[in-house]
Amino acid sequence: MTTMKKTLLLAVAVAGVFSFAAGANAGEPLMSPRAKALADSLRKVPGTTTEMLDRSVKPGSPKAIALAESLRKVPSTGSTVDLVHAPRPTLSPKDPRFETAWRENAGKEFQIAPVK
């Protein structure tokens, strides 16, 4: 009788596996009804719209863009100081007097020899 029980149990197991395999399709994953509804709402469809989007959109609001553009140029009241070509002072860059000395070096006037 034990052989009969084992055979019956094996037959029921094989039938269960075949019925499960027949119900599951390879193209459709096993999901709960809620997950299926979510997947259906997120389904992508190909678009056939004409190119009507403005691709030159800048990030930010128009007000912020206008403010940034207005802050780019500052009106100058006097001559500009050329710190790039000015000789560097002999002070250490950590010295608090370094920037003042550098600006003084940039502001010094020099005379060019006259052309003959």
pLDDT at 23: 59
Q: How far is CA 98 from the centre of its chain?
A: 39
Q: What is the DSSP string of 75-103?
A: --SSPPP--SSSPPPSS-TTSTTHHHHHH
Residue 103's identity, in one-letter code, is R
CA gap 18, 35 in Å, rounded:
25
pLDDT digit string (tens) for 38-93?
777 776 666 666 666 666 666 788 888 888 888 777 666 666 777 788 888 888 98
pLDDT digit string (tens) for 90-104?
889 899 999 888 888
Runs of H (alpha helix) within the chain: 2-23, 33-41, 62-70, 98-107
pTM over 0.85: no
